[in-house]
Amino acid sequence: MSRLVSRWIKPFLLFAFLSFLLANCVSPAIEQNLTTIQQPDTTSECRMIQHQFGETCVPLNPQRIVALDPFMNLDPLIALGIKPIGYTSDIGEGREIIASVSIDDVKGATNVGKSDQPSLEKVLLLKPDLILATDHHPYPLLSAIAPTVPVSPNFETPANEAFFKENLRYVARVLGKETKAEEVLNQYQQRIKELRQRLRNQLEQIEVSLIYYNNGYVYKPERGHDAGTDVLIDTGLHYKLPPSGVPFSIETIEEYDADILLIVSFEQRPLSFFLQHPIFSHLKAVKTNRAYLVPPERWDTRGILGANQILDDLFKYLLDDR
């Protein structure tokens, strides 16, 4: 089952199961907690946040936030200087992954499960005052626990605007941290400016290719799919993006060929695996030792923390011999 299909089906199965669980199987203590949480203090001030499921009245200063997606809401939350009380993670190649967020950033917080299948019981017991979710999560159940805002791709994102920037702004608006968000984005832009200045006349001469490798397939990322493409575009580098649907083969190798090759592998393959590959060996970057393996936690991300880590790699690999 593909990752995309899995993200759609599992929440529906979870929704059906938990609906039964909450209706028939919860312990009296949990049921009492749910009843209490379902009766919000209507006298408290809050801000109304619009989203694809309607609107949510968010407390003006939430103190107990649960973030249910490492990419979509945990990354921007940490970037805004806010530590959640609960978070989710993913498992890749037998290890825990929380996107571009470090373990220290969530130290003391409770892991409430996988991002596509969080434990609603664990979320409930944390007694959150705000839940940041996605449109893949069971919104009706979550909103019965606490005010819930889905943070999802392309919601209120202007065309041709980097998603990770608008995603940060949206989370900031939910939390009333708009000024802090602009400070974070300005720092990012200053780093972009510094990289461009250090590359100088090399900027328009260097051509970069970014490719993904997973389950034996080589493919290109599309804009909006991750922060990697958007960061490369921000730098002003010649970013080689093969036309959609062009397979990676010896006949189409020119579509992938560039001065620098960045490889995002979802498998634990060493760089030597790609350098010795019969097709990869024909690429210019491989011949000139300018092919680099970059981690998916940094490049397959949709957050501002990930974008800055991508910049770390670009500073390292673009300026390594200058």
170 and 28, same structural domain?
yes
Instruction: Tell me: do 171 and 51 sit in the same domain.
Output: yes
Q: What percent of the chain has a predicted confidence (pLDDT) above 90? A: 56
Report pLDDT for 243: 66
Of 142, 176, 210, which residue sits at a domain end? 176
Q: Is 244 part of a structural domain of the chain?
A: yes
User: Among 143, 176, 209, which residue terminates a domain?
Assistant: 176
Mean pLDDT computed over every residue of the chain: 84
Residues 26 and 170 in one domain: yes
Instruction: Report the range of poorest mean pLDDT among 77-91, 155-169, 232-246, 272-286.
Output: 155-169
- Give the per-residue pLDDT at 44: 62
Taking the complete model, does pTM exceed 0.85, yes or no?
Answer: no
* Per-residue b or e along 274-290, where b marks 16 or more CB atoms closer than 10 Å to that residue's CB: bbebebbeebbbbeeeb
Regarding whether 61 and 204 lie in a shared domain, the answer is no
Q: Is 282 left (phi over 0), alpha (psi -120 to 50) or beta?
A: alpha
Would you say residue 234 has pLDDT above 70?
yes
Rounded Cα–Cα distance for residues 48 and 165 (Å): 21
Q: What is the mean pLDDT of residues 100-114?
A: 94
Average pLDDT over residues 119-131: 97
In a domain, 265, yes or no: yes
- The string of pLDDT tens digits covering residues 76-92 is 999 999 999 999 998 76
State mean pLDDT over 317-322: 73
- Contact between residue 51 and residue 122 where contact means Cβ atoms under 8 Å apart: no
What residue numbers bound the domain in which 102 lies?
3-155+163-176
78 lies in some domain:
yes
167 and 213 inside one domain:
no
Residue 204 has pLDDT above 70, yes or no: yes
Residue with the larger pLDDT of the pair 158 and 238: 238
Residue 28 belongs to some domain of the structure: yes
Cβ atoms of 295 and 312 within 8 Å: the answer is no
Domain with residue 278: its CATH number is 3.40.50.1980
pLDDT of residue 10: 47
Question: pLDDT, tens digit, for every residue of 278-294?
Answer: 888 889 999 999 999 99
How many other C-beta atoms are found inside a 10 Å radius of the C-beta of residue 148?
Answer: 25
- Reduced to 3 states (helix: H, G, I; strand: E, B; else coil), residue 296 is helix
Count how many domains the chain has.
2
- What is the Cα 317 distance to its own chain's centre? 23
Same domain, 110 and 225: no
Pairwise pLDDT comparison (201 vs 110), residue with the higher score: 110
Q: Taking Cα atoms as reference points, which of 23, 4, 146, 299 lies closest to residue 133?
A: 146
Angstrom CA distances, 228 to 131, 196, 223, stand at 27, 16, 9
In a domain? residue 190: no
50 to 27, 47, 55, 149: CA distances (angstroms):
34, 10, 4, 8
* pLDDT at res. 1: 41
Residues 53 and 91 in one domain: yes
pLDDT for 7: 44
Dump the DSSP string for 12-40.
HHHHHHHHHIIIII--HHHHHHHHHHTS-
17 and 79 part of one domain = yes
Q: Does 184 reside within a domain? A: no
Task: Give residues with Cβ within 8 angstroms of 174, minimum separation 6.
Answer: 47, 49, 58, 130, 132, 149, 151
50 and 93 share one domain? yes
Give mean pLDDT, residues 94-120: 91
Residue 292 belongs to a domain: yes
Arithmetic mean of pLDDT, 47-64: 95
Q: What is the DSSP string of 183-221?
A: HHHHHHHHHHHHHHHHHGGGTTT-EEEEEEEETTEEEPP
At residue 239, the pLDDT reads 85
Whether residue 107 is found in the same domain as residue 16: yes
Please give the average per-residue pLDDT across 302-320, as a whole number: 92
Say if residue 170 is in the same domain as residue 216.
Answer: no
**Domain limit, last residue, from 129, 144, 176:** 176
Domain contains 29: yes
Asked if residue 121 and residue 211 are part of one domain, the reply reads no
Predicted confidence at residue 217, as pLDDT, reads 85
pLDDT of residue 66: 98
